[in-house]
Structure 1
Amino acid sequence: MAAELSSLTPAQLEALLNGPALPPPHNVIPNFDHPDNQNIIPGVVVPICLVLASIAFLLRSYARIFCVKKIELPDVLMVLAFGCYLADIYLGYRLKAKPGAFVHQWDVRVKDMPDILFPMWLSNIFYIIAVLTIKAAILLEWVRIFVPYGVRNRFFWLCHAVLGMNTIFYIVVLFVMIFPCIPVEKAWNPMYAGGYCTINTQAVNIASAVLNLASDIFILILPQRIIWGLKMSAKTKRGVSVIFAIGIVCCIAATIRLASEIHFTKSTDELYNTTSIMLCALAEMTCMFLVFGVPSVAKIISDSHLPSRFVSSLRSLKGRFPHRSSSRDSGTGAQSWPGSSIIMEKSQANTSHSYYHNLESGNGPVFQTTTTIDSTAQPISSESMERLRENTGSVESGKILRTTQVVTHEDYGGGGYEREGASMDGYDRQHPWARDRI
């Protein structure tokens, strides 16, 4: 291209630079100023991916900083991966602004291609770094979770073998992506005078997509035998299923990216197919962040005691409303006295029985009840007493214990009469003095 440009006259060169970057199809007129695009697709997909990845990143960071209070190598790798992820999103927005998403190459001038190819070149580099670091973080996290400290079992060596192969592979791909040409500028500026390119970047992209999909599948199935072999509750299994589903979506995105890379090499309209490749790569990275960060939700909930606090709040709210019952609505004639909630809360609704006696004293009748709890409950005594009448002879005989159900003993001139389950209302009608005092 550079040699051909050098043989052109200034007028011919300017006409070439202002012409389309790809010959348009028959009867198609290039539209350089307002090319047709589909910006609505990245306009929806990119914000959703950014929000999901950010939530996963923040959940993991919060759990490690405030709950575990310990930062390890996977967390450092996650931060590095997230930085590259944000850079990749910025470059995607830059391409969305100019020339646009799914814009045909014949709607772009030749002189504008270097400014478009440069963000694409950077995007590939940041993608490789992000995938390398987040996959390494996931594998190290698998080892930390499923392998006891100091144990070197088969799962341990499998994880480290995959980690080693991924690291070597992605470092090689990263080197090839950065230095496909000499000088480097020729990688995104084909009109650069001089230099040469010795590496077929399209073949490298296809190989990268194939091995990337293979590693995604292997990382997904690697811990499944251990996970489903554990004795877990249904709630825990549902959480594991969510992570497994996210991993499947990640593999699907990697598969679509591989198909897009293959179609990219067969099509001359490279600019149009680049958008689908970048969106699939973005979705794949987002799923990786979710796989790594979502499990931190359980740790956050466990350490913050949210379920117990929620139950305590409900109990506190319930305690604001007094518990009332009427003897007229109950077949046993039970009645709730003021303050009887103390006994009910302590006895956990165990049946209680009380005995009400008519005592004689020199100063008039004095009434007293004593409360007992059945054998299934702990003995409980209430310190809440109410003096009905001052008794100069006996202090204890002037007290009444507040109860929920009473059994009365009524004495009439030496004759004993006992009625079980009688309510205080009935007793008060026969003893006006006691009714007035109460």
Structure 2
Amino acid sequence: MRFMANYDLMETIRNTNQWLGASALAMASYPAFSMFPNPALEWMGAWGEVTERTFGRMVVKPDWNIPAVVGPDGQDHVVNITCALKRPFGDLIHFEPQGMEQPKRKVLLFAPMSGHYATLLRSTVISLLPDCDVYITDWHNARDIPVSAGKFDVEDYTLYLVEFMRHLGPDTHVIAVCQPAPLALAATAYLAEEQPDAQPRSLTLIGGPIDPDATPTDVTDFGHRVTMGQLEQSMIQQVGFKFAGVGRKVYPGLLQLASFISMNSDTHRDAFVEQIQRVASKSSHEHDKHNKFYDEYLAVMDMPAEFYLSTVERIFKEREIARNVFEVKGRPVDIGKITTVSVMTVEGSKDDISAPGQCIAALDLLTGLPDAKKASHLEDGAGHYGIFAGGSWRNNIRPLVLDFIDASQDDATATPRRGAKKAANKNAAA
């Protein structure tokens, strides 16, 4: 109950701030006050509008808002979003433009389960839709999952990835972004031993912590500084009575958000002060740059406690993937068993979350894979988000990934094309 009380207290604080913002906006909007113009009322209303929106977004799952896709015929095709496979902790969803011939490239995006919803990859999906048949993992907010659904740790997560790949078949090209990269590698190795014919055609790992110690960052240092007992006591709470997952132990999204913001508190403070000024001066609008970014950034989800703790312990502390000693249900998963899947790694030179060297370490683990089926790319000047969204992704990385997919699809040797480089050791990449 102590942890339930903490969870409910955080929700109460959030709810109260949302209410205060709404109240301030409503009060400043009284028509009678317009007879006596007062800058203080303008500022109060602006503060209320920004505050209400800010705290309201924290408990709302963002919409995909995928625009129509322009097909080869030059016509706009509305995108249908359907559920291809439904599971308690996450669904496999499909983006299908109406009336457009299905592209030959079938791409499965493994979205992170790291505090934000899969919609964080919205721009990635939009950029791929004209050329690919796109699927994505849509993870659920743990607070909405009843305790009766059971636990969900890194092994369960890996088996979900295995099931999704089996469902889509061997002509699939997997792109794993950030957190799922090491488990995507493990899931592919699992299939290599259990059901080789179900392996994907190619696997692209983008900014993932395959070997967190290859190039230490603040994230990896934190994992080493604290004990598992300290993490469990300070980060884990039980979902309150307001939600379907009442009693489930989670790493709360609001607590994660507080950690995210504390890393760059001055930047976020200045951004909100400037937005209040813009609202007060009537120079803001619904879809301005601030709202577009923070509507997504502030929308956080709870993670199952066992998933968070097992990730820290097994991926970061024990480095089970990096040492190739990972097990699923007591059975060793040997990454060296991958012999036919083309693998490419993508890193950003300014990535301060998964620094260069952490992801390319995967290539050293692929001892059974010919060098011709390995490739790597280091994007100069790109940060963590830039390697899967923004200009670096659209202009440089996306074309390389599509070329790599085509190479693995058309050529049995999957020779890397254009700017993608053949396998290099992790130290050279760093």
TM-score grouping bracket, smaller chain normalisation: under 0.3
Considering fraction of residues, name the structure with more strand: 2
TM-score, normalization by structure 2: 0.20
TM-score, normalization by structure 1: 0.20
Considering fraction of residues, name the structure with more helix: 1
